[in-house]
Amino acid sequence: MKVLHIESGRHLYGGAKQVLYIMEGLAQRGVENLLACPPGAHIAQPARASAQVFELPMKGDLDFGLVGRLRRLIAAEQPDLVHIHSRRGADLWGGLAARRAGVPCVLSRRVDNPEPRWLVKLKYRLYDHVITISQGIRQVLLAEGLAPEQVSCVRSAVDPKPYLIDYDPAGFKAALGLAPDALLVGTVAQLIPRKGHRHLLAALPAVLAKHPRLQVLIFGRGPLEAELRQAISDQGLSGQVRLLGFRDDLPAVLGCLDLLVHPADMEGLGVSLLQASAARVPIIATRAGGMPEAVRDGRNGLLIAPGDVAGLAAAMNRLLDDAALRQTMGQAGRQLVLNEFSIDAMCEGNLAVYRRLLNA
130 and 176 belong to one structural domain: no
DSSP string of 159-209, one letter each residue: --GGGSS---HHHHHHHTT--TT--EEEEES-SSGGG-HHHHHHHHHHHHT
pLDDT at site 112: 80
Report the alpha-carbon distance of residue 108 to residue 220 in Å, rounded. Answer: 24
Instruction: Give CA–CA dist 131/121, Å, rounded.
Output: 17
Is residue 353 domain-shared with residue 307, that is, in the same domain? no
Q: Would you list the DSSP string of 285-349? A: EESSTTHHHHS-BTTTEEEE-TT-HHHHHHHHHHHHT-HHHHHHHHHHHHHHHHHH--HHHHHHH
pLDDT at 305: 98
pLDDT at residue number 120: 82
* Distance (Å, whole) CA 159 – CA 14: 12
What is the C-alpha separation between 173 and 63, in angstroms, rounded?
47
Q: Are residues 231 and 244 in the same domain?
A: yes
Residues in Cβ contact with 100 at an 8 Å cutoff, skipping those fewer than 6 apart: 67, 71
Distance CA 50, CA 41 (A): 16
Assess whether 321 and 177 both reside in one domain.
yes
- Find out whether 302 and 273 touch, Cβ atoms under 8 Å: no
Number of structural domains (the chain) is: 2
CA-to-CA distance for 91 and 303, rounded, in angstroms? 32
Domain of residue 269, CATH code: 3.40.50.2000
**Domain shared by 86 and 219, yes or no:** no
The predicted-structure confidence for 142-154, as pLDDT tens digits, reads as follows 999 899 999 999 9
Q: What is the pLDDT of residue 101?
A: 96
Does residue 130 sit in the same domain as residue 167? no
What own/partner pairs with CB < 8 Å and gap ≥ 24 does 222-227 have?
222/190, 222/191, 222/192, 223/191, 223/192, 224/191, 224/192, 224/193, 224/197, 225/191
Closest CA to 257 of 143, 158, 198, 173: 173
Is residue 21 located within the same domain as residue 105?
A: yes
What is the residue range of 29's domain? 2-157+342-359
Tell me: do 133 and 200 sit in the same domain.
no
Let me know whether 56 and 96 are in one domain. yes
If asked whether residues 132 and 210 sit together in one domain, one would say no
Q: Please indicate, yes or no, whether residues 188 and 291 belong to a single structural domain of this protein.
A: yes
The pLDDT score that the predictor gives to residue 360 is: 84
Provide the pLDDT for residue 248: 86
73 and 188 assigned to the same domain: no
* Residue 101 CA: distances (Å) to CA of 5, 75, 150, 226: 15, 7, 21, 45
Q: What is the pLDDT along the chain (360 residues), one digit of tens a residue?
A: 999 999 998 888 778 989 999 999 999 999 999 999 999 999 999 999 999 999 999 998 888 999 999 999 999 999 999 999 988 888 999 999 999 999 999 999 988 888 888 888 888 999 999 999 999 999 999 999 899 999 999 999 999 999 999 999 999 999 999 999 999 999 999 999 999 999 999 999 999 999 999 999 999 999 999 999 999 999 999 999 999 998 889 999 999 999 999 999 999 899 899 999 999 999 999 999 899 999 999 999 999 999 999 999 999 999 999 999 999 999 999 999 999 999 999 999 999 999 999 998
